[in-house]
Amino acid sequence: MLNYYDKISQVFWVSDNYLFHACAMQRIYNLTERQLLRKVNKGELSREGADKSLEMLASKVLLGALAVPPPPVKSLDGEDMDPEKQKYQRMAALVGYQTVPQRKSVINDIMGKNVMSYVPKELADLFNFVETEFDPLNLSKRVKPWFDAIDKKPELAKYLQALKHGVLLKLVQQLSQVYQTMRISDFAKLADFLSLHDCEKLIVRAVSLNQVSFYL
């Protein structure tokens, strides 16, 4: 099962299905934790060795969850007729879910289990900032040290771009609740962890997916 979820997590990642990648990574974490615990109980592995193995895996689980983009700002009419719905249900079944999971349930699963106890402090701080604090006006200054730390770790660096995209979408969603208009130069200062060109492309795509409301 570990090999199965490892392979399918890679498939979901390269196809940009970050939600199902995160679900597969959580399955890998749960299976690995039980496997390591059995080895510790049998004396085949030290507790310290098990904890070290779980630290990197827990970091990947956390970043995989944060990379999942925020949900649409509102439901679309005729959502039940969405031609993608059956595809999502099939993908959910591949990672052991009877119904299509949501970003919120993935995040709650991380918070409800002991994943956070194995995550390095800087990643735990990033998680808390993005999911609970999220200060849009000081966003760039706050996230830069965390992004730099992730970029320096080859095992985690692949999550960085998707993580930046998710943070940007959340930024736009929150700004749209406060401002009716904003100068593009002001917006660029708040989101300078991405190029303005990347920001524009991502916003256009997010509007088409109903993830944000945006008017030029």
Amino acid (1-letter code) at residue 125: D
Q: Among residues 62, 56, 13, 65, which one has the least CA distance to residue 36?
A: 56
Q: Report the share of the chain in percent with pLDDT over 90.
A: 50
The tokens of 148 are what? 């730099």
214: DSSP letter: -
Residues near 11 by beta carbon (within 8 Å), at least 6 away in sequence:
none
Break the chain into its structural domains and give their ranges.
Answer: 2-208
Say how far apart CA 184 and CA 40 lie, in whole Å.
55
Per-residue pLDDT of the chain (216 residues; tens, 9 = 90+): 999 999 999 999 999 999 999 999 999 999 999 999 999 999 998 988 888 889 999 999 999 999 998 877 654 444 444 557 788 889 999 998 888 899 999 999 888 878 898 999 999 999 999 998 888 888 888 999 999 999 999 999 999 999 999 999 888 888 877 887 888 888 888 888 998 888 888 888 888 777 776 655
The tokens of 199 are what? 């920001």
The tokens of 16 are what? 């940009």
Please determine, looking at this structure, whether the domain spanning 2-208 carries the CATH number 1.25.40.860: yes
Say how far apart CA 79 and CA 167 lie, in whole Å.
26
- Give the tens place of pLDDT for each residue, 125-137: 999 999 988 888 8
Contact criterion met (CB below 8 Å) for 156 and 63: yes
> What pLDDT does residue 138 have?
87
> What pLDDT does residue 76 have?
46
> What pLDDT does residue 81 have?
44
> What pLDDT does residue 201 have?
87
- Give the tens place of pLDDT for each residue, 135-175: 888 888 899 999 999 999 999 999 999 999 999 988 888 88
